[in-house]
Amino acid sequence: MSKLVKSLEEAIKLCGLKDGMTISFHHHLRNGDFVLNMVLKEIAALGLKNMTINASAIFDIHEPLIDLIKQKVVTGIETDYMGRTVGEAISGGILEKPVIFRTHGGRPGAIDTGRTPIDVAFVAASQADDMGNCTGKFGKSACGSLGYAMSEAAHAKKVVVITDELVPYPLNGFSIPEVNVDCVVQVDAIGNPAGIVSGTTKITRDPVGLKMADLAVQAIIASGLLKDGFSFQTGAGGASLAAAVFLKDIMVQKQIKGSFVMGGITGYLVDMLEAGCFRNIMDVQCFDLKAVDSLAHDPRHLEVSATHYASPFTKSSIVDSLDVVILGATQVDTNFNVNVHTNSQGIIMGGSGGHSDAAAGAKMSMIIAPLSRARMSLVVDRVQTISTPGKTIDVVLTQRGIAVNPRREDLCEKFKTAGLPIVTIEELKARAEAINGIAQPLKTGTKTVAEVEYRTGEIIDTIKNIL
Amino acid sequence: MRRTMLFLPGNTPNIIINADVLGADSVILDLEDAVSPDQKDAARILVRNALKYMNFGSCEIIVRINPLSSGMWKEDLDEIIPLRPSVIMPTKVSASYDVEHIAAYITEVEKKAAIPEGSTQIMPLIETARGVENAFHIAEADKRVCAVFIGCEDLTADLRCVRTKTGTEVFYARSRVVCAARAAGIEAYDTPFTDINDKEGLRKDAEFAKGLGYTGKACISPRQVDIVNEVFSPSDADIEYARLVFKVIAEAKAQGRGAVSLKGKMIDKPIVDRAAFVLEMAKALGKGGADHE
Amino acid sequence: MVIKQKAMAGTMESSDCLVYVEPAADLQVEVSSVVMVQFGAAIKKATLDTLAELGIKQGFIKIQDRGALDCVVKARVETAVRRSEKEVQNA
């Protein structure tokens, strides 16, 4: 028996795809992905319309979506992150139905519980056998962990595996088993490996960023959490990565043996594993090729599903065991709510990703960001979009002071004792205003272009169109 | 406290707006080598506005002006002095006359701007052979001179030798400059270490300068600031010793003794002065000083 | 002061602005900014204030802003205007 079919067109027909159905994609090929565009092109050619796309993330390479939306081939989008190119078009109001933004933990949770049923899941894999066992760990288009593909691979009504490297049955080291796969298609290329490297995976050289990274490590030490068994997650921003590098130096120096590091994995976290700072990496996605290589070869580097990583609809997930997470933000308000969806002009250029999940689970969640970016203050009265609620954010660290959530008196005391520059969040806002001047408020339109769904399923904010 | 002086280019707004949080005790806004010849006017006006409108907190602002040979130094002073920078840093100062010349012009500008005469201090950058030989005269040339600063990169060009990390070629010059400064009763600052990636080398160089008696050292990158601050800060041991000095003095006084000794050394005025300075620094660093006379 | 010829000052780097001036019959200020909504008015005011301080009553001034503080806008406007005054055009 073989599930191999000759073309994407055949696979689509075999799956009985019809108008109005929901199809899914993972984003492990990041800005080097060819598959989403390839599949949608076929779907459009077949005359199908009103499709809903449930993609774990949408990048600038997915620009063709804009025309497909205008042509009503695509009329619904559900995603955890949207890059600026498509984001700006959505902010302009091209989609009738609001985009549903979920989180990296909420999306698999919604798929697992059947709240967002997937009709056909398209799973790109750098290697697969003809029965559908597949992986992203090996092959010329290797992208590493397939964490975000696993829920739909298990629960979608139909599953199509798309690969550019077919191997003899059985695939050694498969990440997704054949059991729910309907057909397998081979294409020339599923993506461009160079595009897999995320936008920001290099540590910052900016002195302000380095200063904040240094302060962040001091804060982690002051919290008392840095000891044997320590667990850690960091975002991919330049300052966050610098913090990882500095943390590694301290852990090596003090011989601290951590338990695990998690998240989106970069080469810097691989360095920490190899330096003996942690026993394991729990990998839900790879941000660069060093991480991809480590996953393929190092038994301590574990591939985990997004459900395992962060779904709140589990008996437990990895974020529940997390000590410290370092995150970014475009804005923070005086209630510690964080915005990672929209920029200063109200344009969609991001999304929670795993932000809300890690913040909810971690013992200490810390935002690192410069107090101003091009005259725009980080701290505002009310964020443009609530991506992560303030009750889950403990610390906001800038180069001009550190604010601790009033709910965390304990942390505040520890930081003060350690001599860290603690100020109130209102003081941070005042400092920014003293430097930048007072910003005139942004006016947005009245059309809801997106809904922000918190990890547990409730809508915590809406995004309006830009004027 | 001036353990570190960080050079920042005078024409780059996104660096200047963060000047005060880079950790340096002083920042040198540079109108000279860090600014291209066709942007000297832009830099001058930008630095003037920065002085006028921005708040640098407790960070001291020094402005490095263009050399006497350039003809631009007067325009630099015309724009900057009225905004009351703490210190002006003229370059390639080779003789006391250079200082007198600049000081006289500063006085003129201060008068015109109706600011108290003598408000602006001068920190000559000594980076020529003549400057080194004339270091004491330069240091003494005017009341405004608060310190001298040695620049070894240009100096080695003048000496016609190669600049090295070990610095044997500039050993005499460095010693002479610090000696001249102390003879004139002012501070001395050491040349920057130009290999930004060599942290160990930076630390060694800073420690060497401290060993020679320098008050602090210039930095050319924010990444150097923490190490140089550390080297020029009093250690816990230094602070402890300083406290002890005053303790034994107080004890001796109480017992009516004149001569005081500690750890086999006579405590004379230089030691007391140094101990007082250490405790002042300790206080500024939040390590707690001690009440002393 | 009078704007005698075209001149430019500043850069398009973050927190800076590029200012372009040229002679014109009346006074016209055009601002574009990465933070137009929030600070467009402030940038225009800083520009007009500086022009008034310099006694400029005629000219076309265009600001391309990348989040510069008012004092930086003022510095760049002043620099461009002073450059436009000189007989020999600056690079």
Nearest residue, CB atoms, B222 vs list A207, A372, A400: A207
Q: Would you say residue B293 has pLDDT above 50?
A: no
Residue C45 sits at the chain A interface (C-beta within 8 Å): no
> Is the domain of B199 the same as that of B260?
no
Which of residues A364 and C90 earns the better pLDDT score? A364
Instruction: Name the nearest CA neighbour of A46 among A100, A9, A77, A99.
Output: A9
Residue A147's pLDDT band, with cuts at 50, 70 and 90, is very high
Q: Cα(A362)–Cα(A278) distance, rounded to whole angstroms?
A: 17
Task: Domain of residue B35: give its range.
Answer: 4-232
pLDDT, residue A199, reads 56
Q: Is the pLDDT of residue B292 over 80?
A: no
Average pLDDT over residues B214-220: 97
Task: Tell which residue, C63, C65, C74, C49, has the closest CA to residue C8.
Answer: C63
Q: Residue A364: name the closest of A325, A396, A338, A405 by CA.
A: A325
User: B226 and B261 in one domain?
Assistant: no
Q: What is the pLDDT of residue C88?
A: 53
Same domain, residue pair B255 and B154 = no
Query: Under an 8 Å CB criterion, which residues of C touch B?
Result: 9-10, 13-16, 68-72, 74-76, 78-79, 82-83, 90-91
Taking residues A238-249, report their average pLDDT: 92
The predicted pLDDT at position B251 comes to: 87
Q: Are B65 and B130 contained in the same domain?
A: yes
B19 near C53, Cβ under 8 Å? Answer: no
Give A183's contacts (C-beta < 8 A, 6+ positions apart): A3, A4, A5, A10, A11, A14, A15, A132, A160, A161
Interface A–B counts its CB contacts (< 8 A) at 24
CA atoms within 13 A on the CB side of A40: 29
Percent of chain A scoring above 90 in pLDDT: 94
Alpha-carbon span A143 to A192, nearest angstrom: 10
Whether B211 and B97 share a structural domain: yes
Domain stop point among B232, B248, B276: B232
Rounded to whole angstroms, how far apart are CA atoms C74 and C59?
Answer: 16
Q: Are both B195 and B60 inside the same structural domain?
A: yes
pLDDT (average), residues A147-174: 97
Residues B215, B75 share a domain = yes
Q: What is the pLDDT of residue B274?
A: 86
Q: Do B45 and C91 touch (CB under 8 A)?
A: no
Chains A, C: CB pairs < 8 Å: 43
Decide if A211 touches B, using CB distance below 8 A: yes
**Contact assignment for B53 to C69 by CB distance below 8 Å:** yes
> Which CATH number fits the domain that encloses residue B36?
3.20.20.60
Widest CA span in chain B: 69
For the stretch B164-179, pLDDT in tens is: 999 999 999 999 999 9
Q: Which of A344, A437, A439 sits opposite C70 (nearest CB)?
A: A437
pLDDT of A188 > 50? The answer is yes
Mean pLDDT computed over B269-279: 87
At A202 the pLDDT is 80
Where in chain C are the domains?
Answer: 7-85
| pLDDT mean over B32-43 | 97
Question: Burial, B191: exposed, middle or buried (Cβ in 10 Å; 0-12, 13-18, 19+)?
Answer: buried
Whether residue B77 lies inside any domain: the answer is yes
- Residue A110's pLDDT band, with cuts at 50, 70 and 90, is very high
> Considering only CA atoms, which of A340, A330, A366 is closest in space to residue A232?
A366
Does the structure show a pLDDT above 50 at A225?
Answer: yes
**End-of-domain residue from the set B197, B217, B232:** B232
B224 and B126, same structural domain?
yes
- For the ranges A253-257, A345-349, B42-46, B270-274, the lowest mean pLDDT is seen at B270-274
Whether B240 and B199 share a structural domain: no
**Whether A381 contacts chain C with CB within 8 A:** no
- Please name the fold of domain C7-85: Ribosomal Protein S5; domain 2 (3.30.230)
Please report the pLDDT score of residue B259 as a whole number.
77
Residue C71 has pLDDT above 70, yes or no: yes
**In C, which residues are within 8 Å of A376 by CB distance?**
35, 38, 67
Average pLDDT over residues B65-85: 96
d(CA B246, CA B292): 7
Scanning A224-341, the segments in alpha helix (DSSP H) are: 238-253, 267-274, 289-297, 306-310
Give the separation between CA C74 and CA B254, rounded to whole angstroms: 63
Residues B36 and B134 occupy one common structural domain: yes
Q: Is the pLDDT of residue A198 over 80?
A: no
Chain segment A36-81, per-residue pLDDT in tens: 999 999 999 999 999 999 999 999 999 999 999 999 999 999 999 9
Q: Within a domain: residue B290?
A: no
C39 to A437: CB separation less than 8 angstroms, yes or no: yes
Domains of chain A, CATH where assigned: 4-56+104-196 (3.40.1080.10), 207-442 (3.40.1080.10)
Helices first, then strands: H and E counts in chain A: 15, 26
Nearest CA in chain A to C36: A345
Q: Does the predicted interface ipTM exceed a cut of 0.90?
A: yes
Cβ separation A376–C38 shorter than 8 A: yes
Question: Is B43 within a domain?
Answer: yes
A365-405 pLDDT per residue, tens:
999 999 999 999 999 999 999 999 999 999 999 999 999 99
* Structural domains of chain B, count: 2
Q: Are residues B95 and B119 in the same domain?
A: yes
